[in-house]
């Protein structure tokens, strides 16, 4: 009997994992496991930080990206892998203090980029996550 080698995850252009749409923690964990290189460690840290900061979080993978929200209230955070960074999306980012640094074409949305050698300010991220989780979310 031959050993089964686990299949390598399919990475889309820019290195974003292709993960089937699904709700709950399972699809999120599959996405994190498929994140390439250093991004997987950051994904685990982000997921743990969201769970600690917003314990009633509702999770899903949609459009090949993890989404975090409050059930019945909409989504407050998502992230996506690019070749050189991870892009965090705060759907009501202009309501956060301080406002995350990267603007979006969508008026209320703001982004925060995490690069490989960045010193991750988890206190700031936790503050944004807490604030965002207390706002009405995006209905996608």
Rounded to two decimals, the pTM is 0.90
Domain boundaries, the chain: 19-133
Q: Give burial (CB, 10 Å; 0-12/13-18/19+) of 62.
A: middle
Contact in structure between 45 and 118 (CB atoms under 8 Å):
no
Among 139, 80, 136, residue whose Cα is nearest residue 113: 80
CATH architecture of the domain formed by 19-133: Alpha-Beta Complex (3.90)
Q: What is the pLDDT along the chain (140 residues), one digit of tens a residue?
A: 444 444 567 878 778 899 999 999 999 999 999 999 999 999 999 999 999 999 999 999 999 999 999 999 999 999 999 999 999 999 999 999 999 999 999 999 999 999 999 999 999 999 999 999 999 888 87
Map tokens 């990206």 to a residue.
Answer: 65
């Amino acid at each position: 009997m031959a050993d089964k080698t686990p299949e390598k995850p399919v990475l889309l252009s820019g290195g974003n994992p292709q993960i089937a749409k699904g709700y709950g923690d399972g699809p999120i964990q599959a996405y994190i496991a498929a994140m390439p290189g250093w991004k997987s460690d950051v994904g685990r840290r982000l997921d743990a930080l969201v769970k600690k900061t917003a314990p009633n979080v509702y999770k899903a993978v949609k459009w090949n990206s993890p989404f975090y929200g409050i059930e019945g209230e909409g989504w407050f955070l998502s992230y996506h892998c690019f070749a050189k960074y991870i892009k965090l999306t705060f759907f009501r980012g202009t309501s956060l203090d301080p406002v995350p640094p990267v603007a979006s074409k969508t008026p209320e949305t703001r982004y925060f980029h995490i690069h490989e050698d960045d010193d991750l300010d988890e206190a700031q991220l936790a503050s944004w996550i807490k604030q965002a989780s207390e706002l009405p979310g995006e209905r996608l």
